[in-house]
């Protein structure tokens, strides 16, 4: 294929976004021009996600839609669905090229030769980071996962846990900082597992970033409860650069369900992590994920879980309704929960999350915080985030874009949101 216009349509996690950005830069160096996903392009690259059945459906719909509206263009499907649904994706008449997680970083070479190289396996680490957003960059530090949680396809599509070196990460993080981006988000599949099998683990990386990188803000993405050590929490508490924002996926507030999910902690361990954070940083953001409707989750287990969530100071929850997959260990589990019951439980969890979020915003009301303002102009307004991830809205002012400004937080509105 000759160099032309390329548009990316990226689904799923921050890792996919970081990787799309890196693949795009390779294509640009080969003479391609990157255009917005809504513009006419010669090639559409769909970076797929299959974390849920709904995510898969969205990807398939996008593939069909793009080819229908741009019949002259070529469509390449890359990423997790290309890895695990290769046959089904190949059978789609809309698809011209497929590159799985092993071959997607060679996409530029493969397009030249119209053939798939398959010499790599999923044990190679490919560095990636996103650029294009002036405010924030997602920096991939780790990939893959050695855990085998019963509901998760990620180890199948992304392979075993592996990491970048601290030296490489420091170089890239400093280059991001020097390009003017104010915030770097450390991203991976299981970042708490950084450095597995090597001497230097996540606390060593965080200490090195703290000392050597000039970025004003470094944020951790989601980290497993059993891997969030006291060392990491204490480092964040002492640091000016590491933001007091923790996303710790709980998934279920009941030990029996956690055991069936094959998670590696119990609620006591989770509580100890939250207590440690709050004891050192009372206003830190402690967000979590919860899956509802996991097979066999009884009424009593659900009630136990929601009572537990009510009792601990998490700032808010991302609630996921369980959807059955054909590829994971849980697909063999009996006692599926009826969709209407999953819907009811999900509604109760969403309600609780909204209450918790409002409480978290109210606790921060009246405090003075630093807000990093973003570049989007949404109906005359702009948004920014504090270090502990509170959202602030104000009238759009180009002079505030990509600047960190001191703000006295008023009372939140019911969104919740701080309006200044
Ligand atoms: S820790 Fe569990 S849920 Fe997270 S990526 Fe690994 S297997 Fe999936």
In this predicted model, what pLDDT tens digit does every residue of 141-191 receive, in sequence order?
A: 999 999 999 999 999 999 999 999 999 999 999 999 999 999 999 999 999
Q: C-alpha distances in angstroms, 266 versus 1, 97, 204, 244, 269?
A: 52, 44, 26, 23, 5
Q: Does the beta carbon of 248 sit less than 6 angstroms from any atom of ligand 1?
A: no
What pLDDT was estimated at residue 133? 78
pLDDT tens sequence across 36-47: 988 999 999 999
Give the contacts of 393 (CB within 8 A, at least 6 positions apart). Answer: 381, 382, 383, 417, 418, 419, 420
pLDDT tens sequence across 22-31: 999 999 998 9
Q: Does the beta carbon of 261 sit less than 6 angstroms from any atom of ligand 1?
A: no
pLDDT tens sequence across 203-228: 999 999 999 999 999 999 999 999 99
Where do the domains of the chain lie?
Answer: 5-113, 127-243, 256-261+279-364, 368-419
What pLDDT was estimated at residue 326? 79
CATH fold of 256-261+279-364 reads Transcription Regulator spoIIAA (3.30.750)
Judge whether residue 284 has pLDDT over 70: yes
Q: Does the beta carbon of 333 sit less than 6 angstroms from any atom of ligand 1?
A: no
Judge whether residue 301 has pLDDT over 50: yes
Nearest CA to ligand 1 atom 8: 152
What pLDDT was estimated at residue 113? 54
End-to-end alpha carbon distance in the chain: 51
Q: Tell which CATH architecture fits domain 5-113.
A: 3-Layer(aba) Sandwich (3.40)
The answer to whether domain 5-113 and domain 127-243 are alike in fold is: no
Judge whether residue 116 has pLDDT over 50: no
Share of the chain above pLDDT 70, in %: 97
Q: Does the beta carbon of 189 sit less than 6 angstroms from any atom of ligand 1?
A: yes
pLDDT band at 112 (very low <50, low <70, confident <90, very high): low
Q: Does the beta carbon of 416 sit less than 6 angstroms from any atom of ligand 1?
A: no
CATH fold of 127-243 reads Transcription Regulator spoIIAA (3.30.750)
**Ligand 1 centre distance from Cα of residue 146 (Å):** 8
């Amino acid at each position: 294929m000759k160099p032309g216009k390329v548009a990316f349509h990226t689904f799923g996690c921050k890792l996919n976004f970081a990787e799309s950005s890196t693949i795009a830069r390779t294509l640009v160096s080969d003479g391609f021009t990157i255009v917005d996903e809504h513009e006419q392009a010669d090639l559409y690259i769909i970076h797929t996600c299959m974390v849920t059945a709904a995510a898969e459906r969205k990807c398939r719909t996008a593939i069909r839609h793009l080819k229908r509206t741009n019949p002259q263009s070529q469509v390449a499907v890359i990423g997790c669905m290309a890895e695990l649904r290769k046959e089904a994706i190949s059978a789609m008449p809309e698809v011209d090229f497929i590159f799985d997680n092993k071959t997607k970083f060679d996409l530029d070479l493969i397009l030249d030769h119209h053939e798939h190289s398959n010499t790599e396996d999923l044990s190679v680490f490919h560095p990636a980071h996103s650029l294009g957003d002036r405010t924030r960059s997602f920096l991939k530090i780790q990939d893959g996962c050695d855990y085998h949680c019963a509901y998760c396809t990620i180890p199948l599509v992304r392979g075993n846990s592996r990491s970048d070196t601290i030296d490489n990460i420091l170089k890239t993080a400093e280059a991001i900082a020097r390009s003017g981006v104010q915030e770097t988000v450390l991203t991976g599949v299981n970042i708490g597992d950084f450095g597995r099998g090597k001497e230097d683990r996540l606390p060593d990386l965080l200490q090195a970033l703290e000392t050597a990188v000039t970025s004003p803000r470094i944020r951790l993405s989601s980290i497993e409860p059993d891997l969030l050590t006291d060392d990491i929490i204490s480092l964040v508490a002492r640091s000016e650069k590491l933001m007091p924002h923790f996303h710790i996926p709980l998934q279920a507030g009941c030990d029996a369900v956690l055991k069936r999910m094959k998670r590696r902690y119990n609620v006591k361990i989770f509580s100890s992590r939250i207590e440690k954070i709050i004891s050192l940083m009372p206003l830190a953001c402690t967000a979590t994920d919860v899956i509802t409707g996991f097979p066999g989750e009884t009424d009593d287990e659900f009630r136990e879980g929601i009572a537990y969530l009510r009792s601990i100071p998490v700032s808010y929850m991302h609630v996921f309704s369980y959807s059955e997959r054909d590829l994971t260990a849980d697909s063999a589990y009996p006692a599926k929960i009826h969709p209407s019951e999953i819907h009811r439980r999900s509604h109760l969890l969403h309600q609780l999350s909204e209450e918790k979020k409002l409480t978290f915003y109210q606790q921060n009301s009246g405090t003075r915080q630093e807000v990093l303002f973003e570049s989007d102009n949404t109906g005359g307004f702009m948004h920014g985030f504090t270090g502990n991830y509170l959202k602030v809205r104000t009238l759009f002012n180009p002079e505030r874009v990509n600047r960190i400004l001191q703000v006295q937080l008023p009372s939140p509105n019911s969104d919740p949101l701080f309006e200044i």
